[in-house]
Amino acid sequence: MSYGKQEIYDLLNAKGIQYEAIEHEAVYTMEGMAALGLPHEEFVAKNLFLRDAKKKNFYIFVVATDQRVDLKSLGERFNIKGVGFASEKYLESILGVFAGAVSPFGALNDTEGKVRVYVDDRFKGNVIAVHPNDNTASVYLQTEDLVAVLADHGTQVEYFTF
């Protein structure tokens, strides 16, 4: 099964997870997200899809929008040799999304278990807003519910502190 926007909504409904989906124009950057004027901007997550040098291991880092990320430091901290942004080819083939629609929900489309998700612990115990694998909507839900959905799928998910 491929998880697009409607499939994400259906999954959340089937699991009885409370969420709010806000439909909006397509956005491709964090600046575009900010320009939308969505409620509770503090819950909006920035999602980075990264890979190692050999392009064998892939990672989604879910961080607060105000968090600056130094890839070299991140690679050293998580022992990711040659960390860099994954190409659009991998966005499509592994996450089933396109540039601008990266989301932790993309890990649901990872049929080979290549993706590991790291969530900034500032979201723990709070609401988080992420795309439902489509950049024309944002889904607000409890972070623990997001983590549980991913873990139920078999995705490795960890909280981390910057």
Is the model's pLDDT at 40 over the cut of 80?
no
Q: Using the predicted structure, report yes or no on whether residue 154 has a pLDDT greater than 70.
A: yes
Residue 94 reports pLDDT greater than 90: yes
pLDDT score of 33: 66
| 39: containing domain | 5-160
* Helix, strand, coil % in the chain, rounded to nearest 5: 35, 25, 40
Q: How many domains does the chain have?
A: 1
- The pLDDT score that the predictor gives to residue 99 is 85
Sheet bearing 127-130, strands edge to edge: 19-23, 137-142, 127-130
Alpha helices in 3-158 (DSSP H): 5-14, 30-36, 71-77, 88-90, 143-153
- DSSP conformation letters of 18-42: -EEEEE-----SHHHHHHHT-S-GG
Q: Where are the alpha helices (DSSP H) in 23-141?
A: 30-36, 71-77, 88-90
Residue 31 binned pLDDT confidence (cut-offs 50, 70, 90): confident
- Specify the amino acid at residue 45: A
pLDDT score of 100: 85
Map residue 82 onto helix, strand or coil: coil
- The whole-number pLDDT of residue 1 equals 78
CATH label of the domain that carries residue 96:
3.90.960.10
Identity (one letter) of the amino acid at 16? G
Q: What is the mean pLDDT of the chain?
A: 92
Q: Which of 35-39, 97-101, 125-129, 140-144 is predicted least confidently?
A: 35-39
